[in-house]
Chain A
Amino acid sequence: MEILVCVKRVPDTSENEIEINAEGNDIERDDLVYSINEPDNYAVEEALRMVERAGGIVTVATVGGEDDEEVLRREMAMGAKQAALLSDESFDGSDARGIATVLKGFVQKGKYDLVLTGVQAEDGGAQVGGMLAAMLDYPFASLVTGIEALDGRKLKITREIEGGNKEIYEIDLPCVLSIQTGINEPRYVGMRGIRQVASVPISALGAADLGVEDGAVGAAAARVKRLDYFVPPAGKGAEMLSGGRAEIIDRLIELLKARGGLQ
């Protein structure tokens, strides 16, 4: 089984408070800690488990620049055998459709049985996987929380729906699946593992290599564009309790008693 996992490097929101820059046109990026988008990491782990059972190799790819290489290295340290950085000035400013167009070019250069993405990027909209599937005319399923290989180039998949319920589908290969967190427990990657793959070559492919036409990607082709960032309105806003911890606790206990939270 040849599996491609499309990954993205994003600011790690569990490590960072996201602030908006003075111009309001971007988030403050100077001191951000970046990491692999969390659901993408689950997708790589799932791909690795599938090839450990059935044979094959896992390739990881990302659309971006030099800085994004670090997440490819990290996923290679997990066990991905090949990595590709899809990078070209003409890709800058692409919307999700543009990113899916670049990935489509890469998929068509290989012979992948299965393409995985994470369900959603921290700064995204749960959209590239579904677009990519439609462009390739592959079947698609989102929010996947279980994959089982069946005979005859088919998978049995589980998708998360509302209320803790699950839908079970059979899906033909090749297909695109977007992977939800919790599908597995991603393996640990230490610094040592990353050092071991530090010199493994990562192929860099541009628009010409991928057959991506001018005008199909980039800022000019983007139909969706972010204009600015702003702080969300406070809504009703919480009453913030301040003071020493003991003082806060006494005030909280009063509030809890008033609302029947304590006898």
Chain B
Amino acid sequence: MPRIFACIEHKAGVADDSAAELAAAAKRIDAAQVPVAVVAGWGPGLDAVCEALRPAYSEIWRIADRALAHPDAEPLRKALASVLPRGSIVLVPHAHFGVDLSPGLSIKLDAAFVSDVLQIEGAEGAWLKVVRQEFGGQVSAHVRCDISSGAVINIRPGAFRPLESANAAGRVVDQSARIGDLTVRRRYLETVASETGGVDISKEPVLVSIGRGIQAQENVAIAEELAAAMGGAVSCSRPVVDAKWDKSRQVGSSGCTVKPRVYLACGISGSFQHLVGIKGNPLVVAINKNPKAPIFRAADVGIVDDILEFLPALTDRIREQ
């Protein structure tokens, strides 16, 4: 079995939650080995991240370079292509950074690539069998991947439960001298923080959240009336923002994380990018006219109905009381 490496995302001296999840995913590929963490960056936080990973990883490959001060996939891909042994299995969190890094990395390493893996069923000879989803989570698929020339595997955040006990006492190995020239033709300029609108949905106890099922801008009023009747606010999923509604109201990985008591998902299909934005174990009520919508697998209460008819009826009934 090839050696397994995990690319660690970190910020301000703290490893991302995905670091422990990648260690758990590695165990599913090969229970007999403890994986190697790769930590790239620059500045004082780097050593703290390496130290924190020692229980879960056999080695921590530390890569320090000024070009990696911001998590920038282009120079990191070059560094990894120099440092990683050919034939390795490389695990990367399937988030905004991994989407930038991994497909190209697989080409540079001449390795196979599998995107957004939810489960790993195990390896048999040259084949690794994994589970993915397609069509916005409506169907799952078993996928097999030829790992004989190595593989880059993007792991869905939150899909693997971290191992409970880990005491690998891994050693930190500095690999900075091996990364070669990191000159690239894409230059990081700045990060722009999200604009907050008049309503901060992360603080609202009740959210009436709307998705594609709202159909048209003029229908947003239906949700606003229900939110007013319930004493909450309106939030939304990505397609509603794409239709030029307020970005600060978007729930999900590229929007806001919310922690209400009650979350009404109205006409929202329930992609994982949306669901990861809902925290704090609220009562999730899904209303969707498609009985197969993935949201019904994540919700506590499900109602198959057209929100354009259901929401006004619910508003009226609440007002009567």
Contacts and interface: CB of A to CB of B under 8 A. Distances in A.
Interface string A206-237: 00000000000000000111111111111111
A203 interface: no
B69 interface: no
B313 interface: yes
Contacts of B262: 256, 259-261
B317 A135 contact: no
Interface stretch (A51-59, A67-75, A79-87, A156-164): A156-164
Contacts of A128: 103
B103 A168 contact: no
B244 interface: yes
Interface stretch (A1-9, A107-115, A189-197, A238-246): A238-246
A238 B301 contact: yes
* Prevailing SS type, chain A contact patch: mixed
A31 interface: no
Interface in B297-321: 297-305, 309-310, 313-314, 317-318, 321
Interface residues of A, number: 85
A224 B113 contact: yes
B103 A262 contact: no
A19 B292 CA distance: 9
B253 interface: yes
B300 to A, nearest CB: 6
B19 to A, nearest CB: 16
B151 to A, nearest CB: 8
A240 B302 contact: yes
Interface stretch (B39-47, B60-68, B139-147): B139-147
Contacts of A100: 107
Contact of A127 (B95, B113, B190, B241): B113
Interface stretch (B82-90, B129-137, B166-174): B129-137
B135 A238 contact: no
Given A13-B138, A229-B139, A232-B297, A127 B100 contact: no
Contact of A261 (B105, B206, B247): B206
* Prevailing SS type, chain B contact patch: mixed
A171 B185 contact: yes
B37 interface: no
A125 interface: yes
A217 B252 CA distance: 36
Interface in B95-115: 95-97, 99-100, 102-108, 112-115
A118 interface: no
B104 A252 contact: no
For chain B, the bracket of interface size reads: 35 or more
A229 B305 contact: no
A19 B318 CA distance: 37
B219 to A, nearest CB: 15
B184 interface: yes
B159 to A, nearest CB: 12
A135 B286 contact: no
Interface string A133-144: 111001111110
A128 to B, nearest CB: 7
B74 interface: yes
Question: Which of B149, B256, B301 has the most chain A CB within a 10 Å cutoff?
Answer: B301
Interface in B176-203: 184-195
A263 B317 CA distance: 14
A49 interface: no
A3 B42 CA distance: 36
A89 interface: no
A249 B143 CA distance: 42
Nearest to A178: B99
A244 B12 CA distance: 53
A17 interface: yes
Interface string A167-184: 111111001001001100
Question: Which of B96, B104, B154, B231 has the most chain A CB within a 10 Å cutoff?
Answer: B104
Nearest to A183: B242
B302 A241 contact: yes
A162 B95 contact: yes
Nearest to B195: A164
A168 B141 contact: no
Given A131-B106, A223-B145, A230-B139, A161 B191 contact: yes
A172 B185 CA distance: 5
A102 interface: no
B122 interface: no
B261 A122 contact: no
B100 A141 contact: yes
Contacts of B74: 139-140
A139 B291 CA distance: 43
B248 A228 contact: no
Nearest to A174: B185
Contacts of B192: 158, 165-168
B163 interface: no
A181 B242 contact: yes
8 contacts: A19-B292, A127-B102, A134-B104, A165-B192, A172-B185, A225-B143, A232-B297, A238-B302
Given A164-B195, A170-B186, A256-B283, 7 more contacts: A13-B136, A162-B253, A225-B144, A227-B141, A233-B297, A238-B296, A253-B317
